Amino acid sequence: MPTTEVLISAGEASGDMYAARLATALQARADVRLFGMGGPRMRAAGVETVVDYGDVAVVGVVEVARKLPTVLRAWRKMFEEARRRRPTLAILTDSPGFHLRLSRVLRRQGVRNVYFVCPQFWAWRQGRVRVVRRRFVRGLCIFPFEVEFYRKAGFPVDWIGHPLVDQVHATMTRDEFSTRNGLDAAKPIVALLPGSRQGELAHHMPIMVEGAAKIRAAGDCQFVLALAPGLSPARVSGYMRPDVPIRIVENATYDALGAADVAIVSSGTATVETALMGAPMVVVYRVSPLTAWIGRRLVKTPFVAMVNLIAEKRVVPELIQEDFTPERVAGEVERLLSSTAARDEMKRELEQVRERLGPPGAIERAADIIASMIVEH
């Protein structure tokens, strides 16, 4: 049986992480040649990335408009490669802004599209589920409550559980992490996770750093910034201030969260990682005013933070848009640092969130499903 060409695509850092693990598991099950869009983790897993996800990793109307020529080039490159290689299957990971358009062309070419990590259309623009139903043959959901939404719309999905459940763990103790990074384990440690996109850094870093300055002025506190995969210290160095010492670490997010008393986290996948580490957190996010205005009219959920959505109640504070200020950040962090009871209560709630994310083995279950689809073709 000849090698099967499979397109696999991810449009951001978390998708690159999930798709890389899926690529490894899939190659162990089937004779496949994988190509598509991704980042360093997918390349390390043996995927030929004809487009780097950094070209399309943007959020918001204004942000997309600024990067539109680059996004269009990425689309064309993916279309051309799909036409040339004629993949049997396309595995598209979240990022609906890019992948819904790509799926239309792929379907016309006779490619069967699988949505790996179905988009959160239950939270915003619910009508787009009809587009998914037309262009995809199957979907894989990582949250249990998503299944009913998609099946009710007539789209066949499977719940695989969350891929992070069996991946998120620290490799060092707090003492070991502190010693390696010049920190004092006896003093409070606050972790900063500003996000992975350039727009997120631009919107979040100045406020985070100013908030850190206020926290430091109120007490003897240390800060560690955990860089997202694919980011270098040079990308954040311009936001640093000499009067606010912040230790930057690479490839050590889980160790940083394991050592932290409190984390300030950009809304998104990082909040789930933080919850799985059991770290008390303050969730933050800011976009352009126009994007925020549009978002308020589209979002159908009472919360923004994934942790609160999973818990179906406010477990962690959300500082979104105008509420995301240095003063509010400092206030929430100081409240948690000053109260062991408040931190312990949040940790208990986060443990319940973890239980709702399903058992380990999500990637293996996804690989089994997709491998069977390749064999059936």
Interatomic CA distance for residues 4 and 213, integer angstroms:
54
Residue entry with tokens 């959160």: 120
Per-residue model confidence (pLDDT) at position 61: 43
Measured between alpha carbons, how far is 229 from 294 in angstroms, rounded to an integer?
A: 29
Q: What pLDDT does residue 2 have?
A: 82
Q: Which residues pair with 246 in a beta bridge?
A: 223
Length of the chain as a residue count? 377
3-state helix, strand, coil in the chain (%, to 5): 50, 15, 35
pLDDT of residue 62: 45
- Rounded Cα distance between 200 and 58, Å, is 9
Q: From CA 351, how far away is CA 338, in angstroms rounded?
A: 21
Which amino acid appears at position 357 of this protein?
L
Q: What pLDDT was estimated at residue 85?
A: 94
Q: Which helix (H) or strand (E) holds 359?
A: none
Q: Can you tell me the distance from the alpha carbon of 306 to that of 341, in angstroms, rounded to the nearest whole number? A: 23
What does each of the 377 residues of the chain score in pLDDT, given as a tens digit?
689 999 999 998 889 999 999 999 999 999 999 999 999 999 999 999 999 998 876 544 444 556 677 888 888 999 999 999 999 999 999 888 889 999 999 999 999 999 999 987 766 667 788 999 999 999 999 988 889 999 999 999 999 999 999 999 999 999 999 999 999 999 999 999 999 888 899 999 999 999 999 999 988 899 999 998 878 999 999 999 999 999 999 999 999 999 999 999 999 889 999 999 999 999 999 977 776 566 665 566 677 788 998 898 999 999 999 999 999 999 999 999 999 999 999 999 999 999 999 999 999 999 999 999 998 76
List of residues 6+ apart from 348 with CB closer than 8 A: none
Question: How far apart are the C-alpha atoms of 212 and 255, rounded to whole Å?
Answer: 20
Model-wide pTM > 0.95: no
pLDDT for 366 equals: 97
pLDDT value at residue 60: 47
- Among residues 128, 7, 137, 26, which one has the least CA distance to residue 77? 7
Note the pLDDT of residue 330. Answer: 97
DSSP 263-315: EEEESSHHHHHHHHTT--EEEEE---HHHHHHHHHHB-SS-SSHHHHHHTS--
Where do the domains of the chain lie, and which CATH numbers do they carry? Answer: 4-165+359-376 (3.40.50.2000), 174-356 (3.40.50.2000)
Task: Fill in the amino acid letter for 221.
Answer: C
Helix, coil or strand: residue 119 = coil
Q: How far apart are CA 39 and CA 16, in angstroms?
A: 6
Q: For residues 50 and 74, what is the distance between their CA atoms, to the nearest angstrom? A: 9
